[in-house]
Structure 1
Amino acid sequence: MLSIFAKNGSETPEPVKAQVIGSIPSWLQGTLLRNGPGLFSVGNSQYNHWFDGLSLIHSFTFSNGEVTYRSKFLKSETYKRNIKADRIIVTEFGTMAYPDPCKNIFSRSVTHLRNIIPDFTDNNLINIIRYGRDYYASSEINYMNQIDPATLETVGRVSQRLSP
C-alpha cells in the first residue's frame, strides 16, 4: 500500500532560510518552482498511487549566495472538497472515490448514478508552466490552476484552452 512509502508533506508558508553546505555562486539569482504530490491521505482515507497525492508547490529563491524555501498546497477545487469532507471524494489516477456510506439509500443511489461520470480532478501535481507573466500548476487533465509565484497562493482554476 502507498502509505508505507509516502508520508504527508506540510506547508512552509513563510520563507525559511536554507542551510547551505558549500557555496552557491553569487550570480545565481531567481526562483525555482517545483510541484509534486504532497498529501497522501485525507482524514482516514488514503491514496493508492504516487500520482494521486494532493499537490504541494515548492519555491527555492536564490539571492546573493543564499537560498530561502517555502511551500504551499495547491488549493484546487479537489483539495478544498476533500479537506471539507475530511476524506477523498474526488477520483484520481489510481484511487477511486466512493459515495458517502452515511447517506440514506435514496441519496446513495443518486450519488452512485452521478459517479458513473466522475468529477474530474483539478489536482495539478506535475509541472509549473509560465504563460506570459502568469504561472500555472498543470498536468495532463482538463484544468490548470494559476498560482502567484511570489506567495504560492492559488489564484484560481482555468481551462487549458489559453489564447495569446
Structure 2
Amino acid sequence: MQSIFAKNGSETPEPVKAEVTGSVPSWLQGTLLRNGPGLFSVGSCEYNHWFDGMSLIHSFTFRNGEMTYRSKFLKSHTYNRNIKADKIVVSEFGTMIYPDPCTNIFSRAFTHLRNIISNFTDNNLINIIRYGQDYYATSEINYMNQIDPGTLETIGRVSPHMRMTVLRF
C-alpha cells in the first residue's frame, strides 16, 4: 500500500557518482549529511503524519570537482521492531498504535500501558549533529542515534542523560 504522504524512499548503500550539469568547484571538499523521513509505510500500515516516516540519512560527498551520493535508513530500535513485525508497532508523533481490540480488557490495558511506558520512539529524523568527532541523528525525543558519517551505519542509541554513553546494538 502506498502512503498518502510520499513514495517510500530506498537505500543507496554504496556511493553513486552524480551526473553534474555545469561544474562543482574544485575547492569544494567534504561531506554534507541530511536527514528526513524516508519510509512512510511498513507492511500494510501507513503513517498518519509527514513527521512519522522512518529516518533516511543522505550523504553528499564532494571531492575533486565530483559528487557522490549514498543513503541508508537509520537502523534505530523503532525501525528494527517495525521491519521485524512487518507493520508499525511503535507510536510516532501523529501515528498512535493501539492495543488489539480482540484481546480481553486486561491484555488491552497492559498493552496500552506498555506502549506508553516502553514504546518511546527513537526514530531520529530531524537533524544530524556533530559532538566532538561523533555524529548523531537527532530529533525532539529522549534518544539520539550515533551514526558513522562515512558509511551511514547506525552505531547505537544514546541517551543525553547518560553522559553520551553509546548503547551498542
The TM-score, its normalising length taken from structure 2, stands at 0.89
Secondary structure in structure 1 of the residue aligned to 2:78: helix
Worse overlay, 91-100 or 56-65: 91-100
- Identity over aligned pairs, percent: 81
Partner of 2:121: 121
Worse overlay, 92-101 or 108-117: 108-117
Distance 1:148 1:101, change over 3 A: farther
State whether structure 2 residue 70 is matched by structure 1 residue 70: yes
Write the letter of the residue equivalent to 1:132: G
Deviation digits for residues 22-72 of structure 1, max 9, x if unmatched? 101000000000000000000110000000000000000000110000000
CA distance in 1, matches of 2:33, 2:100: 36
Deviation digits for residues 84-105 of structure 1, max 9, x if unmatched? 1111111100000123467x43
Distance 1:22 1:88, change over 3 A: same
Secondary structure in structure 2 of the residue aligned to 1:4: coil
1:113, CA displacement in angstroms? 3.6
CA distance in 2, matches of 1:57, 1:110: 35
Q: Any conservation in 2 of the 1:91–1:118 contact (CA below 8 Å)? A: no
Q: Any conservation in 2 of the 1:89–1:99 contact (CA below 8 Å)? A: no
Partner of 2:160: 160
CA distance in 2, matches of 1:148, 1:116: 31
Partner of 1:59: 59
Q: Any conservation in 1 of the 2:13–2:70 contact (CA below 8 Å)? A: yes
Deviation digits for residues 9-34 of structure 1, max 9, x if unmatched? 00000000011011010000000000
Partner of 1:30: 30
CA distance in 2, matches of 1:118, 1:156: 18
CA distance in 2, matches of 1:120, 1:12: 28
Partner of 2:167: none
Distance 1:136 1:116, change over 3 A: closer
Q: 1:12-23 residue pairs with structure 2 within 5 A?
A: 12-23=12-23
Partner of 1:134: 134
**Unpaired runs of 5+ in structure 1?**
none
Secondary structure in structure 2 of the residue aligned to 1:3: coil
Secondary structure in structure 2 of the residue aligned to 1:142: coil
**Unpaired runs of 5+ in structure 2?**
165-169
Deviation digits for residues 126-145 of structure 1, max 9, x if unmatched? 00000000000001111000
Partner of 2:49: 49
1:119, CA displacement in angstroms? 1.4
CA RMSD of aligned residues (A): 1.8
Write the letter of the residue equivalent to 1:60: F
